[in-house]
Amino acid sequence: METLKQMFKSNIREYGMVIALVSIVLFFEIVSKGVLLQPLNVTNLIQQNSYILILAIGMLLVIVAFQIDLSVGSIAAFVGAVSAILMIDYHIGVVPGILISLLIGGLAGAFQGYWVSYFKIPGFIVTLAGMLIFRGLTMTALEGQSKAPFPEVFQKMSNGFIPDILSGTSIHITTLVVGIILTLVYIFFELSHRKAKLEYNFEVIPVQFLVAKLAFVGIAINWFMYLLASYKGIPNVLILLFILIVFYTFITTKTVVGRHIYALGGNEKAAKLSGVKTERIVFWVFVNMGVLSALSGLVFAARLNAATPKAGTGFELDAIAACFIGGASTAGGIGVVMGAIIGGLVMGVMNNGMSLIGVTIDMQQTIKGLVLLLAVAFDIYTKSKQT
């Protein structure tokens, strides 16, 4: 029991958010009388929050580097508008249109990153200006009107599903097989990680706790896949999210660039004295944020099947809230990709659950604001206890 307490205390941010997410899901499942976890609603939950989760991944790196980006919603809207002009007005192919749109997002991020990193203008001011600039460009590009429809292939990026190659009838067999494979891969990596720790005489959790953890995660993965399989299977956008999560988890935990981002956020002066090219790191963090903002804008446009002048409104606030709720520190240098995803899911489940039980939009905003405030207060409290 003492080991379990110590393990929880040393990982209080991660475990706390997982417990919070599970508690919120159970609460809304009960009060919505079982509607929340219906297969159709679970699929909608993923598709409705995918663009926020994409932004949250990029925003995490920005916050870890002790910066902020308020322009992501406006860049997403601008890129959505540009993609509509390219694909609808000029009939450019879907793949070239997507690549050009991502490039434009990267250039938008580079524009802002240049002012922040080399002119030392605070990111808050630069991206506030960017928010106004790109919102204005969106209104200008669309002439204040929505533009639709997109090609059907493009729409499938957000609304499509992977095909059932195993030809299930009442249930999507391929999705169930994917769930089993993911479970086996997870168990393999957990056991490999434990073995590596033991070789270097690092402390590991007791075997009984490990078995319980593997069983819990394995059941959760397969139950989630069963819910998806009961509707139409795995959404295409979930595959995209999975790739992004794996890629950015690898970048932040296994690469020199990732370590430099955390070092920069932890102590910029110390990082610079250690040889970290801080200006370059900040620049590329904003470029990366621009590309992910563009991707988010494309997913949102594909979801709506239209580019609208008001697209992306409030995206930046949801992405920032997801990161802080997921355990990122307001002081920089702390945060993990999965934490941002869990934070985004907390916000998404709350939005969906409150809508299901009839909570008004105004009250939803109030509750979300209180949750964000409590999450940051929790971060400050746990930090004060550790010092």
Could you tell me which of 214, 210, 182 has the C-alpha nearest to residue 198? 210
193-213 pLDDT, tens digit each: 999 989 888 888 888 889 998
> What pLDDT score does 369 carry?
87
> What pLDDT score does 329 carry?
87
> What pLDDT score does 378 carry?
75
352-372 pLDDT, tens digit each: 999 999 988 889 889 888 888
- Bridge partner list, 31: none
> What pLDDT score does 5 carry?
63
DSSP-derived secondary structure letter, 86:
I
Q: How many CA atoms lie within 13 A of 247 on its CB side?
A: 11
The per-residue pLDDT string of the chain (387 residues; one tens digit each, 9 = 90 and over) reads 555 566 656 566 667 788 888 989 999 999 999 999 999 999 999 999 999 999 999 999 999 999 999 999 999 999 999 999 999 999 999 999 999 999 999 999 999 999 999 999 999 999 999 999 999 999 999 998 999 999 999 999 999 999 999 887 789 999 999 999 999 999 999 999 999 989 888 888 888 889 998 999 999 999 999 999 999 999 999 999 999 999 999 999 999 999 999 999 999 999 999 999 999 999 999 999 999 999 999 999 999 999 999 999 999 999 999 999 888 988 899 999 999 999 999 999 999 999 999 988 889 889 888 888 887 787 777 667 665
Backbone φ, ψ for residue 101 (5° rounding): -65, -45
pTM metric for this prediction: 0.94
CA–CA separation, 38 and 97 (whole Å): 35
CA–CA separation, 339 and 284 (whole Å): 22
Could you tell me which of 321, 337, 310 has the C-alpha nearest to residue 376? 321
Max CA separation in the chain (angstroms): 65
CA–CA separation, 108 and 370 (whole Å): 32
> What pLDDT score does 11 carry?
61
Backbone φ, ψ for residue 305 (5° rounding): 60, 35
> What pLDDT score does 362 carry?
85
- Coil, strand or helix: which one is 307? strand
